[in-house]
A = this chain, B = another copy of it.
Amino acid sequence: MKSQATLKKIAEHLNLSISTVSRALKDHPDVAGETIRRVKDLANLLNYEPNAFAVNLRQKHSNIYAIIVPELAGFFYNSFIDAVEEEAQQRGYNIMVLQTREDPAIEENNLKLCRYNHVAGIFVAITRYTNDFTPFLKTMDTEIPIVFFDKVPEESGFPSVSIADEEMGALAAEKILKSGKSKVLAILGNQALSITHRREAGFKSVTEKNTHISLSCAYCENETQAFDTIMKMPAESLKDLAVFCMSDELLCGVMQGFYERKVSIPGDVGVLAMSNGFFPRLFNPPISYVETSGYQLGKLSFTCMVDLIGGVEYLSEVMLRGGYIENSSL
């Protein structure tokens, strides 16, 4: 039923003008206290709720921030979203989450949706296949501020917030060396991704200094490939080995492989991951990890967004550091 209540209807009921009603509802000093009361009472009675379309059309922007991520699955982005949502709520903004499924075409479509809806701002972690940034430039042209996070464009110049991947990679390598294993295997992600480059570079910067250990690397697109990598390893190499997994997804694959092959951790093989902290606890033994906090990344990204909207000109590329959480896998 219920043709929605509008300012117009309230105005007619009360023999007031639309403008007065509008102002009354926002406690504008120009309108008499008595009138404000009457208007608000009736508005309540009629369940009046402003029409966002009209409001936004008038003010030319909405109070919604968009977060675009490759995948919702996993726990990293969720904590990021939590953080951003907290900040947004406080300021009366809302969050809309979009996922790209690692598909640049969907990513482009999502950006379009954001433009179409004039969102207040966009937080985006790009897909692993994104290399054409014109859709982003096009969006920025419409004055919609964009903050890249986690998966950020390789070439700089965009406002971005990410993990200090090199440093964290180096930290991981140091811990791995301390384990005293003679062989090291690094399970890395897609080679096309800059995040892989950076973590790898950091990791190698440390291992290369120690010539007595032998390092091998495997690049895995996903959990299954990580699993296969472990399954295909000759048995003798599964001794005196330390494995570094640069992501949760890879860790999951690796651990399934180790379970399957019944290797003893940390006796024969030591394991260290980079993670948000959710998955490492699930394994037996719990996995030691270098922490990459999505939550903190979210908080940081939000302040970056606020800066951007405030007109800060220097395009900052912020880096976030995390610590080492020791469990019993190394």
A contact set with B: CB distance below 8 Å: 1-2, 4, 47, 49-54, 56-57, 62, 71-73, 75, 78-79, 81-82, 85, 89, 94-99, 101, 106, 112-113, 115-118, 138, 141-143, 252, 255-256, 259, 278-279, 281-285
Contacts and interface: CB of A to CB of B under 8 A. Distances in A.
B284 A282 contact: no
A57 B49 contact: no
14 contacts: A2-B141, A2-B142, A49-B116, A52-B117, A53-B57, A53-B117, A53-B118, A71-B78, A72-B78, A81-B99, A97-B97, A255-B284, A259-B285, A279-B282
Q: Indicate how many identical chains form the complex.
A: 2
In the A-B complex, the 4 residue pairs with the closest CB atoms? A53-B57, A259-B284, A97-B97, A96-B96
A57 to B, nearest CB: 4
A249 to B, nearest CB: 11
B94 A142 contact: no
Nearest to A4: B142
A297 to B, nearest CB: 15
A246 to B, nearest CB: 18
A53 B58 CA distance: 9
A292 to B, nearest CB: 16
Contacts of A285: 259
B282 A252 contact: yes
Nearest to A115: B49
A113 B94 contact: yes
Nearest to A62: B53
Given A52-B116, A52-B117, A97-B97, 7 more contacts: A1-B141, A2-B142, A51-B118, A52-B118, A96-B97, A279-B282, A283-B284
